[in-house]
Amino acid sequence: GEDVEQSLFLSVREGDSSVINCTYTDSSSTYLYWYKQEPGAGLQLLTYIFSNMDMKQDQRLTVLLNKKDKHLSLRIADTQTGDSAIYFCVTNGNTGKLIFGQGTTLQVKP
């Protein structure tokens, strides 16, 4: 079945760049998303990339998509303590269902 894999934990120092990686199996995904969940809060759509794109940049966020390897990454430049959260890699099938990775907890140390 469809699957999305990500590492569970990443720790960085404030000011460094963070890179969260994800691999997926469903090649029919038209959109690939990164959701952010802050402690005690719901999920918030952080950014997304359309499947015919290789890269998308949005301020401190850079999303890279390698369709051949089915690999998605999220780079956060100049990571701040406010970036501490769980980040979910998510793909969608053509039925509208979302497939979630396990979530990567990003810890930012001051």
Q: Would you tell me which residues interact with other proteins (CB under 8 A)?
A: 4, 8, 31, 33, 35, 41-45, 48, 88, 92, 96-98, 100-103
Element (H, E) at 47: strand 43-50
Between residues 47 and 62, which has the closer beta carbon with respect to other proteins? Answer: 47
Closest contact distance (angstroms) between CB of 35 and other proteins is: 8
Cβ–Cβ < 8 Å for 43, 35: yes
Closest contact distance (angstroms) between CB of 76 and other proteins is: 19
Between residues 13 and 50, which has the closer beta carbon with respect to other proteins? Answer: 50
Closest contact distance (angstroms) between CB of 67 and other proteins is: 18
Between residues 17 and 44, which has the closer beta carbon with respect to other proteins? Answer: 44
Between residues 96 and 110, which has the closer beta carbon with respect to other proteins? Answer: 96
Q: How far is CA 2 from CA 28, 31, 57, in A?
A: 10, 14, 27
Spatial distance between the Cα atoms of 84 and 11, rounded to a whole number of angstroms: 9
Question: Cβ-count burial of 2 within 10 angstroms (0-12 exposed, 13-18 middle, 19+ buried)?
Answer: middle
Q: Strand 71-76 to strand 61-66: parallel, antiparallel, or no bridges (unpaired)? A: antiparallel
Closest contact distance (angstroms) between CB of 25 and other proteins is: 14
